[in-house]
Structure 1
Amino acid sequence: MLEPALRTHFTTESVAVEEKMNGYNTRVASINGQIVALTRGGHICPYTTEKAESLIPEKIFTDHPEWVLCGEMVGPDSPYAPKETYGIESLQFFLFDIHEKKGGRPLTVAERQEVAEEYGIQSTRLFGTYPLNEAHHKIREIIQMLGASGQEGVVIKDPKMRDPPLKYTSSQSNCDDLKYAFTYYHDYARSFFYSRVMREAFQSVEWREGPAEIEKRSLQLGESILKPMIQSIKRVQSGEKLVENVKIRVKSLKTSEKFKEHLRTLGIDAVFSDPVKIKDEYLIKIQKINHRTNDKTESILRGET
């Protein structure tokens, strides 16, 4: 529940509310004078590193080699979480935190905004700073606005960054996550399911929804689970293989080869298309094969249990 969570969690008199971008989490730093980008699990991603080199000015690390930039890589040319929602042509880095390498001390929200402006780095949208005892009303308005446009939610922060942040997502985002998870149900559904259904139930109670609103939410939630799963079963039944279709856009074909090896290292089976030259870059489509869901579906269709 948002209102009591804010009171219990934060020790400040006000909170800053920023947009939670729907992409993949990236940390960018300078190591031995070279910009590197790390994704989930602390792995250096060659594709994200190439993108970071063009999106983040080298001067920031010349001036501040002790910083780690934390942000979200967002856009359609994402191999991890492709999104068309934001009108981005390829991939964009949105800065949401800056930490020191040693000790991890964060810059304040205001300091980070100043840095982003000084170095010309895109920053996540700051909706405002609100008194703690009133913030839940404003956050609900923001969440409803973001949900209506298919966007994810908000991150709620102590402006001085002394208390850890909280995240609050829209119902539409929860359901989009479930659609994805249940398309590849034997790969992702179990890990996605419980937390998002919990969010939906508690948000409904917190917003004091009536019977019509509860029915609408329930229908949206149920369709997010059942429809993609039925479609996946039918596709396998017709002889298709379930794959995740993503794409990358690289300046160097060496980056594509390094990224292919990176996916192998992560245990991801992927098929890369031939590159298509677009201006000074190469567009490469990738099919990531979800073996567990394919195998499970084929097994059940054969009558095995």
Structure 2
Amino acid sequence: EPYDIVRGFPKISRTLMLYPSLLKHFSSCKSVVVEEKMNGYNVRVAEVRKHPVALTRGGLACPYTTEKVAGMLPMEFFEDYPLLVLCGEIVGPDNPYVPKDIYGIESLDFFVFDIREKLTGKPLPVMRRRTLMEEYGIKSVRMFGEYPITEAGGSITRIIKELGAAGREGVVIKDPEMAVPPIKYTSSQSNCADLRHAFRFYNDYGRDFFFSRVVREGYMSVEWDESEDDRLRRCQQLGESLLLPLIETIKKKKRGEKITEDSRIRVRSLETVSKFAEHLRHMGIDAIFDAPQPAGDEYLVRIRKINQSTNDKTDAVLSGQMW
């Protein structure tokens, strides 16, 4: 049977020192476009055998996301452009991977941040992509503007501070023609939110996940030339992000409770629930699915993912095992 090839989405490099990175990375560009980096999970949507299929970053076809995007995206786009892939962010509270309730979205939504050729992976220029999405009524991530390269640093710093104050993640900085790869820059609040989440499951996350986010805080503090008071506030925010969730996890385990990562999905078909449960098993994720609850013409299903390593380690230490 014929098969389709969909190129993977390239990893976006992260800048820790914004001003020198802009000048060095975009040395061939007169200006850069700044778009919001939304906090959800990356999905590539491509036409496969006349149907849209949602691929997560690992290259796996997610049955839940595929059902959701089928109701969000017009099939006309894929009929007209079968060799283009929509790259976007799935955000909202009914998100089984990264549930966030900061965008005022009731369930889930899809925001395009890139369009690439299916076979080559070549991206469309920024404004061509945004215009195309507007023509088909498909949502794009927020664009803050296009800035001369010599002035972009100040504008991006202001944007990052505003996004951070709103609890949002950060920005992606792009060559308007997409000839130079994009780079990303995230807020301190986003770093700390990641750490708060991860330290609830401290033995299931790799140490590099923790370390890299702490290092980001140091570079940002230096680049922003913070006062002593600002540095102390940053230290307090960082310390609380590490210790408070860890302490709560230990207390929870001491009470005999399981450490679980809770999320939910909203589906039209109960068959999708079964397929998604199998999808998680295939990914090696141990999860408990609660009974589906009717929600209008859909079903709401709560999921508890068991973080076994953190459960086992915390149990062992509480019972006297050495570290």
C-alpha distance in 2, partners of 1:274/1:193?
35
Q: Is contact 1:247-1:284 (8 Å) kept?
A: yes
Q: Is contact 1:79-1:248 (8 Å) kept?
A: yes
Matched pairs, number: 305
Over residues 102-136 of structure 1, what are the superposed CA-to-partner deviations in whole Å (9 max), with x where a residue is unaligned?
21111111011111100111100000000001101
Q: Say whether 1:294 aligns with 2:301.
A: no
Over residues 257-303 of structure 1, what are the superposed CA-to-partner deviations in whole Å (9 max), with x where a residue is unaligned?
00000000000000111111111110000000000000000000111
Please point out which of 12, 21, 45 is paired with 2:29.
Answer: 12
Aligned pairs for 1:247-266 within 5 A:
247-266=264-283
* Paired residue secondary structure (1:54): helix
C-alpha distance in 1, partners of 2:132/2:66?
21
C-alpha distance in 1, partners of 2:174/2:274?
39
TM-score by length of 2: 0.94
The one-letter code of the counterpart of 2:19 is: E
Q: CA deviation at 1:40?
A: 2.0
TM-score by length of 1: 0.99
C-alpha distance in 2, partners of 1:178/1:293?
15
C-alpha distance in 2, partners of 1:74/1:151?
12
C-alpha distance in 2, partners of 1:133/1:189?
37
Please point out which of 41, 45, 52 is paired with 1:35.
Answer: 52
C-alpha distance in 1, partners of 2:212/2:171?
17
Q: 1:71 — aligned with what?
A: 88
C-alpha distance in 1, partners of 2:211/2:172?
21
C-alpha distance in 2, partners of 1:181/1:192?
8
Q: CA deviation at 1:79?
A: 0.2
Q: Is contact 1:181-1:189 (8 Å) kept?
A: no
Identity %: 58
Q: CA deviation at 1:189?
A: 5.3
C-alpha distance in 1, partners of 2:312/2:207?
17
Task: Give unmatched runs, 5+ long, in structure 1.
Answer: none
Please point out which of 193, 210, 229 is paired with 2:246.
Answer: 229
Q: 1:183 — aligned with what?
A: 200
Root-mean-square deviation (Å): 0.7
Q: CA deviation at 1:191?
A: 3.4
Task: Give unmatched runs, 5+ long, in structure 2.
Answer: 1-16
Q: 1:217 — aligned with what?
A: 234
Q: Say whether 1:140 aligns with 2:157.
A: yes
Q: CA deviation at 1:166?
A: 0.6
The one-letter code of the counterpart of 2:320 is: G
Structure 1 segments, 4+ long, off by >4 Å, are none
